[in-house]
Amino acid sequence: MLDVGDQAPDFALINDQGEEVSLDDLLAEGPLILYFYPADFTSVCTAEACEIRDHFEDIRSVSANVVGVSPQGEASHDRFRKRYELPFPLLDDRKKQVIKAYGVNGPMGIGVRRVTYLINQEKTIERRVLADFAVKHHVQFIEQVVEDLGGY
């Protein structure tokens, strides 16, 4: 798993609208909150996505961006995003290339760890939180990022 101070691996994935999105694209306007989650429509993943949705305006108010990555395809991501009115993109990593590059593949290659990274515009990991089931840790992480970047 990547740690604070590590360089964030470059990537390009397809979003829920079928468009290719790169790390450079996501960092164009400011720092990136990159969160990895196991699956669309599961209870914990839905709670996490909705918490991030509820903090989206705060995230954008400090010129940060947010994106979710999981191993479901764009059609699943599109349904998930629409159903829960998520204002941020979800990226398709069915081949788990980015999941593996960021070190968040589950034990023995099964599943995906719930990890959130803050990546600065120089592509350096500034912060990280790992909490497979405790969504509150990810929410607190995001609130702290927003506070430190000038919000609240």
Q: Which two tokens stand for residue 84?
A: 């829960």
Please give the tally of structural domains in the chain: 1
The verdict on residue 109 lying in a domain is yes
The verdict on residue 90 lying in a domain is yes
Domain that holds residue 108: 12-145
Amino acid identity, residue 77? H
The verdict on residue 6 lying in a domain is no
Share the mean pLDDT of the chain.
95
The verdict on residue 112 lying in a domain is yes
The verdict on residue 16 lying in a domain is yes
**Using CB atoms within 10 A of its CB, is residue 112 exposed (0-12), middle (13-18) or buried (19+)?**
buried
- Mean pLDDT, residues 53-77 taken together: 97
Work out the pLDDT band at 151, boundaries 50, 70, 90.
low
User: Distance between CA 130 and CA 70 in Å, rounded?
Assistant: 15
Residues belonging to the active site: 45
- Mean pLDDT, residues 93-112 taken together: 93
- Mean pLDDT, residues 41-46 taken together: 95
The verdict on residue 151 lying in a domain is no
Work out the pLDDT band at 134, boundaries 50, 70, 90.
confident
pLDDT at 145 over 80: yes
CATH code (residue 103): 3.40.30.10
- Mean pLDDT, residues 131-150 taken together: 90
The verdict on residue 152 lying in a domain is no
Question: What's the pLDDT at 133?
Answer: 80
Q: Which two tokens stand for residue 28?
A: 């164009």
Element (H, E) at 119: strand 115-119
Question: What's the pLDDT at 152?
Answer: 47
The verdict on residue 141 lying in a domain is yes
Question: What's the pLDDT at 146?
Answer: 94
